[in-house]
Structure 1
Amino acid sequence: MRPSMIRPLTRARLASRKFSPAAFTPARSLFHKTAVLRDGLWTSPKRKSNEPYHHLEAVKSPISAAHIEAQDLVVVDRILEPQTVANFVGFLMGNPLPDGTRPSSIATLPLEEFALIQGSEQVLGADSMSFFHRVMLYVGSNEDGSRLCDVGKNIQSLKSRLWSGITPLSDQRWKEKGLHLPENFDQACQNLGAVVSVFEYLNVPEVQNNLRETFNLIYDTWSDLDVVINQRRAQTSAEPLSVADLWTLYMSVHLEVMTQRAHKWVTQHVDTLRAPFMQELLAYQPQGQEGYKLDTKQWQLADALHVLLETSVQADHTIMIPMEGYKGYEAPDNKVGPPEMHSAKHEERRAAYSQRVKDLSHKILMDRFFERVAKGEKPRQLTVSKEIYEFATEQVDAQREIRRELRGSSLDSTVQEPWITSKWDKLKYLENNDLPKDSGLAIYHGKELGLAQDDIEAAKQHFNEVLSDSKGPDAPPLDLQPKAILAIDSASFASYMSNSHDATRSSVLPGDSTGFVVAIDPEFDPEIGFDRPDESPDYKGQMRVLGSLVWGDLYAILESQSAGLGELWPLAMHHPDQIYVGPVIPIQRFHWQAQKDGQWKVISEAMNYLGKSLK
């Protein structure tokens, strides 16, 4: 999609948008009881000054160009994801930091002080706004939409996923799609470039400013809370507390985990893709080659290596969120290399980093040359393939050294997905307190409940009744994810029993057209519809999901509260069978559309032939 074809987001369209508190309200928890927002808080975000930042025609690198141009479905992005506030409050109540640690020096916030976050008339006065309500206003609402951004769904959906520390594709999923195979190299690279595009968006100066200002406004709100808390603590000679400083600590760890996991995912896949190309180049012996003229095969290998190098270089200096200007934050003083390489301004960082890689690769080349001379070795007569191989090796070696200067010790750590850490901590709490710890997704199939196989509404009604009963004294030993249920209808049953659904899917990767189940939003009311219909066109409260994605993908997204089914539907609606297959890249969309166009052409010609034969 060319930029000129992107639908403009006018003020009228913006004013019609709605937000839902479901995106940040965790179910069946202490926080859930206090997360009741005022009526109308998440409806129609209205700007008080300028229009939101538009990322629709942004400056793009070769790695991100396809993703910038593919922003055909425009959504409003709350840059600081709303669930972050819920997770921070959970940290105050005793949960670990996003990296799974919790310093022993940090005490749990007592319940009576936790109640101050929601506030009351007795504490704040009848006309005052609670601290929590103020924070959620700043995240993005109809009362304050000044820091909202317009961006394509393709970028925003992946950004929400990465924000929660969820990788775009698991190693298993990567292989299921065949992205490790040479014939799918372009698709593999576009998946890596999608991650770079997200952080290119987050490093745009205006987006950086919006995120920093949102953080600082929330910091100021927690500072006001600190005054109330510490006035009470002073009466009992208790140690003072700074929720504001804990906010800075939490967010610094959160952003580090987010960027570290995304960066490692990209660079590890670059290394894996590069290895067979390097080996093939080293072993390639063209016949009758003269001078330094490359043949077609050598050009192909050299081009592939260049794309991978460019992707990893972009990842090194782009996948980070500098915290300069964030209140309470102090930058470490152990930075290595030129100051420009650590600049909060992406363009300065990009230029300094790229130049450092060029300079060092040249130095490595010369050092190795003089080492051979010092040893008395004669100049080597290398083949063209080996020359390219050595040049590529020198570039990679230089990049890895500069990468350590730029990113430091974060390269050595591997952090678990935060939602897993949080879930594990919750399960331990339930076990220690002798509470039900069975959890997961409800799956409906068969007639033992008196439900017809394809009766989705009956399954929703049954689930909602079970969920309601689970809050009573005779509750079943279940801790079910409330935002989605699964059903095996006749179509999904057939998808596992035969290959009929993918017989004509030559343009769909093998892992994108396998057995599926139906994911259903039990709270969806067909008469009301989705609260942001223009951001999720034709959403009916359900969608098909690959069976292999139920636990590692769908469940992770629901548990981390990074999206609901309505937010995921746009990623499924263009698939030939309307199946959710995970993050979608532009080349996938192109092949899917070509497939559907070809099918429609066949049907149209068949109808024309039938019409003529009946005359």
Structure 2
Amino acid sequence: MTPDEIPLTQTSPDPDADPTVIIDRVMNRIGSMQDADRLCCVGKNLHSLKNRLWEGIVPLCEQRWKEKGLNKMDNFDVACQHLSAVCAAFEYLNQPTVMQYMRDTFNLIWEHWRELEVMLNRRRAEKQQPPVSVTGLWTAYMTAHFEVMTERAHRWVTVKVRDLRGPLLTTLRLHRPVDLDTLDRVQWRTTDALHELAEINCVADYGILIPMDGYKGYTAPALPSNIPRALRSTVWSERGEACAWRLKRLTRTARHESMMQARARGETHHLADPGALHQACLDQVNGQHQLRREVRGNPVEPVPREPWITRLLYRIQSPNDRCQNFGLAIYRLTYKQSDAEWNACRQKIEQHITDWGRGQTGSSAIKPHLKLHWKDGKDLGIPEGDVEAARQHFHGLGPSPLDAPDQINDRVFLVVDEPSVASYTSSSYSSALLTARNGDFAGFVLAVDAEWDPVEGPDRPDESPGYHGQMRILGSLVWGDLFAMYASQSALLEDLWPLALDHPNTVYVGPVVPDEIKDWRLQNGLRNVCLQAVADHAHKKIDGTPFPVAPVQTNPTRAARSGTGDAGPSSSPSHAPPGTAQGQEDNPLRSYLLRAFHRHLQRNNHYREAALVGEMLATPANQTVDMERVRQRMEQGRANPAPSMSREEEDELERQEFETEFCPPQ
């Protein structure tokens, strides 16, 4: 279509019967409330991930993957959940009802483009110009769109599986069991992990697809004669069953050949032989590679860029467009720092925000064209920390002119407030516990919804509870997540808010999976119990209940430093600590308080929180708490709850424990 033909989209083919213009008819079909018959209810985590994948945005770039420690075996389960989540999103898109809704929506839009095509070609015939197939362009566009989104998602999963599998194969090959005829613990654990990766790989191969049978104008490519038809079935379950059967056959054939070759070399077969186990896994991997080509055909090369990057670069490189840069406004709303302190902090923030996209296809090409536009709230007369005043000032700026070289997003802006500065300058900002992945506790800024109306509130309060027009976000996610979502129109702040809701500091750190949410909720629960204990103590003080303070000793320093508690036997019940206290030698008071808190949690049947504190006590200094052992402690605490105690018994026990720990007899 030529530029002078574009206005036809703003006309109606039959104004008397239906004055709705064609472009509005098309837009109403795409998930609007005016045509809500084909909308589906789905969980926010799945919906958010589906939106990312739909726009070709990978869940986590290589940089974020490593920042979260997902390349380490300690976080293997969490890494697998991130990979499985992608497969789950496409399983949702392959549900029969969802597939029908998508197909019907495509075909309805095809009919609207057909109406435009008739008007357009009628005009072209009058001018003796060749006709154009708008419907054909629509079909070609959606075919390419599905190809890009499925190829990028599939490539991301399979590359991550390959990276996780490499160290496991090395462990399997190098580990030497005591008995070659019996698998030991290391071999079982390693082969279980490899099996889990193989399952994810298989599901990704047959699942990360969107069949287009029934889409108007689409013709499926001919099926090669050597490929079983069931492997390319349009039904998810049929493809899955066919792939599972085919993979078993390919693997068994390869295993038989490997065993025959080993026998020809005179090798004796042993169940736990490292070489044989390693070869068995390689045979399965090779079978998966062959199956992948049968199910999906040849991969797309080179890997397509993320579509939002392609669109922005197209504008920048277009000779008819003056746009050269895209950006975000960022307000300084904290004024306590000196000029030198602020300049140092600003530099850290800029470096963190700029540090994004490693492993994100196309990021290096767009990076030089993404700019932050700083605005000093103090110079603008905005009160310190007043986000609403900053929003009003931002509204006054208005949207960037279409012919401006710098296009500033007018729907969201950033704020650096006092908590943001503290997250970049304070050495104490980190996870409250050593159970969390450090990458989720880096510096953050405040993202503000420019269109937020506090009177109207959120559009969907049931989906985004507690949302109030702003959200904290890691600096390194500003461009690759936040800006990418707005540029692709795939999500707004309100849509991302539920993913930040369970974070201990309510910070958006990207897509999350169940194990991460479970760990965060455990931390939040422990913090709430601790705060409740402090509040209860305050109420005791207000009510006049004495705090169990030990008598004054003449020389308590030596005992406090030693932390040995060698005051002799006590008449109180024995509560031996579960292990060596973390940092016990360097900080006996911290260890004592942790043990006291642990006993308090046990006595009040807070078995989940007690399990976490108990594992903290048993974990050596500067090591991460093992969440698997925490879960085991939870099960033990649930099965064997501590006996309840009266308030007087608790007070007496606390007094005796304090005397034993810090006030030994002279």
**Does the TM-score normalized on the shorter chain lie above 0.5?**
yes
**One-letter identity of the residue aligned with 1:110:** T
Superposed counterparts of 1:576-595, under 5 Å: 576-595=504-523
2:597 paired residue number: none
- Deviation of the 1:372 alpha carbon: 5.0
Distance 1:118 1:511 in 2: 48
Q: Say yes or no: does 1:231 pair with 2:162.
A: no
Distance 2:267 2:274 in 1: 17
Q: Say yes or no: does 1:304 pair with 2:193.
A: yes
Contact 2:180 2:273 in 1 (8 A): no
Q: Say yes or no: does 1:443 pair with 2:334.
A: no
Distance 1:181 1:117 in 2: 53
Distance 2:72 2:267 in 1: 37
2:447 paired residue number: 519
Contact 2:315 2:323 in 1 (8 A): no
Distance 1:290 1:579 in 2: 50
- Deviation of the 1:595 alpha carbon: 0.5
1:129 paired residue number: 20
- Deviation of the 1:412 alpha carbon: 4.2
- Deviation of the 1:120 alpha carbon: 5.2
Larger RCO (CA under 8 A, 6+ residues apart): 1
Give the TM-score of the pair, scaled to structure 2: 0.72
Superposed counterparts of 1:164-313, under 5 Å: 164-287=55-178, 289=179, 291=181, 293-313=182-202
Superposed counterparts of 1:444-463, under 5 Å: 444-445=331-332, 446=376, 447-463=378-394
RMSD: 1.9
1:574 paired residue number: 502
**One-letter identity of the residue aligned with 1:306:** H
1:113 paired residue number: 5
Contact 2:11 2:21 in 1 (8 A): yes
- 2:42 is paired with a residue whose SS is strand
- Deviation of the 1:506 alpha carbon: 2.5
- Deviation of the 1:519 alpha carbon: 0.3
Superposed counterparts of 1:129-148, under 5 Å: 129-148=20-39
- 1:520 is paired with a residue whose SS is strand
Contact 2:177 2:183 in 1 (8 A): no
Residues 448 and 380 of structure 1: CA distance in aligned 2, closer, same or farther (over 3 Å):
farther
1:153 paired residue number: 44
Distance 1:604 1:264 in 2: 48
- 2:471 is paired with a residue whose SS is strand
Contact 2:322 2:404 in 1 (8 A): no
- 1:325 is paired with a residue whose SS is coil
2:620 paired residue number: none
Bigger mean CA offset, 571-580 vs 409-418? 409-418
**One-letter identity of the residue aligned with 2:156:** W
Residue of 242, 247, 255 corresponding to 1:352:
242
Residues 386 and 440 of structure 1: CA distance in aligned 2, closer, same or farther (over 3 Å):
same
1:5 paired residue number: none
Distance 1:534 1:269 in 2: 35
**One-letter identity of the residue aligned with 2:116:** L
**One-letter identity of the residue aligned with 2:254:** I
2:548 paired residue number: none
Distance 1:271 1:548 in 2: 26
Contact 1:514 1:546 in 2 (8 A): yes
- 1:143 is paired with a residue whose SS is helix
**One-letter identity of the residue aligned with 1:143:** Q
Distance 2:404 2:382 in 1: 20
- Deviation of the 1:477 alpha carbon: 5.0
Residue of 421, 432, 444 corresponding to 1:504:
432
Contact 1:442 1:485 in 2 (8 A): yes
Distance 2:233 2:445 in 1: 47
Task: Deviation per CA, 1:304-327: give whole Å up to 9, x if none.
Answer: 001100011111110000111111
Contact 1:486 1:520 in 2 (8 A): yes
Residue of 526, 531, 535 corresponding to 1:598:
526
- Deviation of the 1:113 alpha carbon: 2.2
Distance 1:564 1:400 in 2: 38
2:457 paired residue number: 529
Distance 1:548 1:142 in 2: 35
Distance 2:444 2:40 in 1: 34
Contact 1:441 1:481 in 2 (8 A): yes
- Deviation of the 1:225 alpha carbon: 1.4
Distance 1:401 1:120 in 2: 52
Q: Say yes or no: does 1:465 pair with 2:401.
A: no
- Deviation of the 1:334 alpha carbon: 4.6
1:97 paired residue number: none
Superposed counterparts of 1:18-167, under 5 Å: 109-119=1-11, 124-125=15-16, 127-167=18-58
Task: Deviation per CA, 1:460-495: give whole Å up to 9, x if none.
Answer: 122222225x449xx975310122101100111111
Q: Say yes or no: does 1:414 pair with 2:311.
A: no
- Deviation of the 1:221 alpha carbon: 1.3
1:545 paired residue number: 473
Unaligned 5+ runs, structure 1: 1-108
Distance 1:343 1:434 in 2: 45
Distance 1:179 1:567 in 2: 25
- Deviation of the 1:381 alpha carbon: 4.2
**One-letter identity of the residue aligned with 1:116:** L
List 4+ stretches of structure 1 deviating above 4 A.
none
- Deviation of the 1:346 alpha carbon: 0.7
Report the identity percentage: 43
Task: Deviation per CA, 1:254-277: give whole Å up to 9, x if none.
Answer: 000000000000000000000001
Q: Say yes or no: does 1:365 pair with 2:247.
A: no
Task: Deviation per CA, 1:166-193: give whole Å up to 9, x if none.
Answer: 0000000000000001101011000001
Distance 1:197 1:306 in 2: 18
- 1:151 is paired with a residue whose SS is coil
Contact 1:169 1:582 in 2 (8 A): yes
- Deviation of the 1:380 alpha carbon: 3.6
- Deviation of the 1:433 alpha carbon: 4.2
1:379 paired residue number: 267
Distance 1:357 1:504 in 2: 46
- 1:584 is paired with a residue whose SS is coil
- 1:486 is paired with a residue whose SS is strand
Residues 339 and 137 of structure 1: CA distance in aligned 2, closer, same or farther (over 3 Å):
same
Distance 2:185 2:55 in 1: 43
- Deviation of the 1:126 alpha carbon: 7.2
2:491 paired residue number: 563
Contact 2:445 2:474 in 1 (8 A): yes
Distance 2:20 2:12 in 1: 9
- Deviation of the 1:411 alpha carbon: 5.1
Contact 1:264 1:411 in 2 (8 A): no
- Deviation of the 1:385 alpha carbon: 2.9
Unaligned 5+ runs, structure 2: 333-375, 545-666
Residue of 326, 338, 353 corresponding to 2:228:
338
**One-letter identity of the residue aligned with 1:118:** Q
- 2:317 is paired with a residue whose SS is helix
Contact 1:453 1:490 in 2 (8 A): no
How many corresponding residue pairs? 497
Distance 1:512 1:207 in 2: 34
Distance 2:78 2:125 in 1: 61
Distance 1:454 1:471 in 2: 29
Residue of 401, 405, 426 corresponding to 2:290:
401
Give the TM-score of the pair, scaled to structure 1: 0.78
Residues 116 and 434 of structure 1: CA distance in aligned 2, closer, same or farther (over 3 Å):
closer
Residues 601 and 460 of structure 1: CA distance in aligned 2, closer, same or farther (over 3 Å):
same
